Structure 1
Amino acid sequence: MSLRLFNPRVISRAALPSTSRTFIPSIRRLQDSSSDAPANPKLESIVDQIASLNLVEAADLAQLLKTKLNIQDVAMPAVAAAPAASADAAAEAEEDKPKEKTIFSVKLESIDQTAKAKVIKEVKALNPTMNLVEAKKFVESAPQVLKEGLTKEDAEKLQKALEAAGAKIVLE
């Protein structure tokens, strides 16, 4: 059993699949068009007219073509010519913008003495490992962190529930 290797330059066009037969002439046309062949005179006159436009007229032409051809605006990538300048600008913008906190701790600051029993029950319900005596000691030793590592929504729900029971809560 012998293995035949083909030189791609030697393969005839008839041996290629039909899709390749249509692809090869188009590649040749692209190669030929890149040479100094004379361009279409109609297109040359259009290019000359566009080249003679000033900046405002060119912008108006671009807008007119977008509306006429129903082309939507697409965000252009940043210019790679000035990566250091754009990196510095991005760093400055990042420093100016305050970072939004995503993880919160719920801290029990104080309690209303008339609603102490409600707050103790609420704290015990939040920490199932605590018994009633531990929950009472925890509430009486305020200020203390009740829960850590909560999302903003969970922390706000917990804050509302405890404030409804009579506690003063701070989100950190």
Structure 2
Amino acid sequence: MAAVLFDRDGTLVEDVPYNGDPDRVRPMPGAGEALGLLRAAGVPTGVVSNQSGIGRGLLTHADVRAVNDRADAVLGGLDTWVYCPHLPDDGCACRKPRPGLVVEAARRLGVAPRDCVVIGDIAADVLAARAAGARGVLVPNAATLPREVASAPLTAPDLPTAVRLVLARTPGGGS
């Protein structure tokens, strides 16, 4: 595995719908530990996030970047941040469950999408991974539907466990 990509809301940080306020950014339990494990293993990290609040007129690109910057600072820095500003019905190639965000994040990190793992909290995250040829890991939370858990190829109860699973399945432990 060459990189791990995370969903933002509900995975790395608490889900605050259409959050444009950096002061409302709170890391999810275990997020710092999970990222620390990846850093220690030398694995690049990124974020792939749907941000339809822009398309809905509820957020600006500057709002999303400010929240991303705050999350980046709180979590100790990730290597790339990619988001989709489109509405669910816009038909873009980037919005999860489509592969565009994963492909773009992999490109920015200089790795092949097939060498990435995507960790998220809903089926769209896992499906985006599959569509890009990457592997997906579901970390369910209160918003995750039971059918999403049942259909996920790999699940973990929390972020540190998800990262440990990914590192254990990687020859050389992430190198």
TM-score category (smaller protein)? under 0.3
What TM-score do the two structures reach when normalised by structure 1? 0.19
Structure with larger Rg:
1
